[in-house]
Structure 1
Amino acid sequence: MPDRSPSPPTRRVVEVISLLTAAPEPISVAGIADRLDIARATATAILAELDSAGWVVRDPNRGYAIGPTLASLGNSALPQGVGDILTALTTRTGCGATLSRIEPDRLTVLDVRHGPDRVVPGIPVGHRIPLRFPAGASVMPWRAATEQNTWLAAAPDSDRRTASTLLALVRERGVAVFRPLADDAGMVDLLADLLGAMGPELRQPHLRTRVLRQLAALTSRPYTKTELDSDTTLPLSYLAAPVFDTAGSAAYEVQLGPLRATTTKPERDEYIAATLDAARSLTATMNSR
């Protein structure tokens, strides 16, 4: 497939940075070249420039990882301790977690922490998602009425009533909880395992985007109050809770991704409790700056 990027060299730099940002361990030049399907000489040249700027570092085994300069740029808006809270959440639950900034038109991933049992599939730091139902549901009850109305109006007609009910439930319980669409649990597991194995290393960015979009479509049915309170074993996609900034605005969202085909009520309750605890800790950290 021809490269449709307006600046292929720039795109390759972005892909290298995205790959290293999301990688759980350093990657060699050969590994980077193979995973991004670029020439080894190209990867070497890009890494040399990034290394000289402090954006990447090379370990004793010749693997590359994100360097202190880039790390400080990426986390400049986040106070110290945010990463530790997300790591504690992943340790407690075994699931991957993210922190995102919520703007009127989009959600931007600020930090990603992979869990010991399940990684955050295919979502690198800097990944942006349009703020359309159901994305942003956890913060929307605390946003301005104009934002709520825009968000509700953008929902498909078939989801309009669901969206309104979801906002009321999130305001009451402080968390949004989602499940796969009916009978999709097997497909969700397949897509999650694919992205868990390849994730941000999928060679074709457009393919990664398509798979992520399909995964989101299959995992974004909000639970109702009756379903959440049921003792029935149910699938669970992800949970999200608001994080408030120093002005008291729900400016961020912490998200936990179990992506499990079955969960008992005690398991769901623990995921909810862990997410809410992390959201409260993140809010306190944001307000301590």
Structure 2
Amino acid sequence: MHRPTPEPLLVAERSPSPPTRRVIDIVSLLAATPEPISVAAIADRLDIARATATAILAELDAAGWVLRDPNRGYGLGHALAGLRGPVLPSSVGDILETLTERTGCGATLSRIEPDRLTVLDVRHGTDRVVPGIPVGHRIPLQFPAGASVMPWRSAAEQNTWLNTAPESDRRTAGSLLSLVRDRGIAVFRPRADDAGTVELLADLLSAMGTELPQPQLRTRALRQLATLTARPFTKAELDSDAALPLAYLAAPVFAPTGTAAYEVQLGPLRTSTTKPERAEYITATLAAARALTTALTTA
């Protein structure tokens, strides 16, 4: 498999105060991470400059909000320790790393609640790194986000989710739920005439990284990229022998209660894939989803 690529396209609303947002993102990451994490890892996971992360952590350390261990890893300080929610098993990160190493693509684990999606872990691919939503960020749950878990949700949740789709996509959204229940995975693509634009935007965003002088332009580009990559594969396309563009894949991850509570995403963002290449992406994503379900139900 060639051209390893970026993480799935989850795009947050633009923050009215980016500096404040970065502080929140760092605290959210530390709250979701069971072990101390280095400045370099924090900067990488949140797609921010290392100098920015260092300055924020210094202020948080002075306030007692974070603590630095002897190995220079950071965790929540005593002032915030009571805010820590359920911590993911450490094996979750290992499973996502295995998925990115196998495919070369970025991977994301998110918790899917009735009204929102919360990013719990992000692992970058090994080539392009397209910035998306950092760990701890939340977005409203709207079509097509959360498609992989919806077939296992209540009829009321399904109807609410379907109603978030544009009128022109309602029939497509309904068919998608049936296909996901049958195949266990949601697969998305750009329209054929958008595939080149998608790759260009992904390459530009990867090249700009955190150094873009006008962050609002990156947000606009990410929104456009997400819009262009939200067309679900049909059954005929999934079974086709033709070379087709591929944006991202998503599979459900189940909680100990048996609820499809999480979603793992893989982001190839490729302008053309053969049927065997698509099959490998699907197999890898489903394998990761099963491993994540086991990790979360046996923790």
TM tier relative to shorter chain: 0.7 to 0.9
**CA separation of 1:235/1:247 partners in 2, compared to 1, >3 Å: closer, same or farther?**
same
Q: CA deviation at 1:27?
A: 5.1
Q: CA deviation at 1:172?
A: 0.3
Q: What are the Cα deviations for residues 144-193 of structure 1, in whole angstroms up to 9, with x where unaligned?
A: 11000111122111111101110000000000000012311111112212
Q: What are the Cα deviations for residues 56-105 of structure 1, in whole angstroms up to 9, with x where unaligned?
A: 86999xxxx972338x9878431220000000000000000000000111
**CA separation of 1:22/1:132 partners in 2, compared to 1, >3 Å: closer, same or farther?**
farther
Asked if 1 retains the 8 angstrom alpha-carbon contact of 2:114 and 2:157, the reply is yes
2:277 to 244, 250, 267: 267
- 2:120 alignment partner in structure 1: 110
Q: TM-score, normalised by structure 2?
A: 0.79
- Alignment pair present for 1:23 and 2:44: yes
Which secondary structure state, in structure 2, belongs to the residue aligned with residue 184 of structure 1? helix
- 2:91 alignment partner in structure 1: 81
- Alignment pair present for 1:69 and 2:76: yes
Asked if 2 retains the 8 angstrom alpha-carbon contact of 1:239 and 1:275, the reply is yes
Equivalent runs, 1:147-186 vs 2, <5 Å: 147-186=157-196
Asked if 2 retains the 8 angstrom alpha-carbon contact of 1:123 and 1:199, the reply is no
Which secondary structure state, in structure 2, belongs to the residue aligned with residue 226 of structure 1? helix
Q: CA deviation at 1:215?
A: 1.1
Moved more, 13-22 or 48-57: 13-22
**CA separation of 1:26/1:68 partners in 2, compared to 1, >3 Å: closer, same or farther?**
farther
Taking the aligned partners of 2:230 and 2:104, their CA distance within structure 1 comes to 21
Asked if 2 retains the 8 angstrom alpha-carbon contact of 1:241 and 1:253, the reply is yes
- 2:231 alignment partner in structure 1: 221
Asked if 2 retains the 8 angstrom alpha-carbon contact of 1:235 and 1:261, the reply is yes
Aligned-residue CA RMSD (Å): 3.1
Equivalent runs, 1:1-289 vs 2, <5 Å: 5=16, 10-11=20-21, 13-14=23-24, 21=42, 23=44, 28-29=50-51, 32=52, 44=55, 46-52=56-62, 53=64, 55=66, 67-69=74-76, 76-199=86-209, 202=212, 204-289=214-299
Which secondary structure state, in structure 1, belongs to the residue aligned with residue 120 of structure 2? strand
**CA separation of 1:160/1:84 partners in 2, compared to 1, >3 Å: closer, same or farther?**
same
Q: TM-score, normalised by structure 1?
A: 0.81
Taking the aligned partners of 1:90 and 1:106, their CA distance within structure 2 comes to 25
Asked if 2 retains the 8 angstrom alpha-carbon contact of 1:238 and 1:259, the reply is yes
Q: What are the Cα deviations for residues 97-123 of structure 1, in whole angstroms up to 9, with x where unaligned?
A: 000000111111110001113435333
**CA separation of 1:248/1:211 partners in 2, compared to 1, >3 Å: closer, same or farther?**
same
Asked if 2 retains the 8 angstrom alpha-carbon contact of 1:97 and 1:254, the reply is yes
Q: What are the Cα deviations for residues 195-236 of structure 1, in whole angstroms up to 9, with x where unaligned?
A: 323445655554443222211100010000101111100110
The residue type equivalent to 1:284 in the other structure is T
The residue type equivalent to 1:288 in the other structure is T
Taking the aligned partners of 1:201 and 1:16, their CA distance within structure 2 comes to 18
Q: CA deviation at 1:276?
A: 0.2
Q: What are the Cα deviations for residues 9-64 of structure 1, in whole angstroms up to 9, with x where unaligned?
A: 634634777897351699553xx39xxxxxxxxx74x342234447486999xxxx
**CA separation of 1:55/1:182 partners in 2, compared to 1, >3 Å: closer, same or farther?**
farther
**CA separation of 1:205/1:130 partners in 2, compared to 1, >3 Å: closer, same or farther?**
farther
Which runs of 5 or more residues in structure 2 are unaligned? 1-14, 30-39
Work out which structure has the larger RCO, using CA pairs closer than 8 Å and 6 or more positions apart in sequence.
Answer: 2
Taking the aligned partners of 1:184 and 1:59, their CA distance within structure 2 comes to 50
The residue type equivalent to 2:290 in the other structure is R
**CA separation of 1:201/1:58 partners in 2, compared to 1, >3 Å: closer, same or farther?**
farther
Asked if 1 retains the 8 angstrom alpha-carbon contact of 2:151 and 2:180, the reply is yes
The residue type equivalent to 2:115 in the other structure is D
Which secondary structure state, in structure 2, belongs to the residue aligned with residue 232 of structure 1? coil
Which runs of 5 or more residues in structure 1 are unaligned? 34-42
Q: Could you tell me the percent identity over the aligned residues?
A: 67
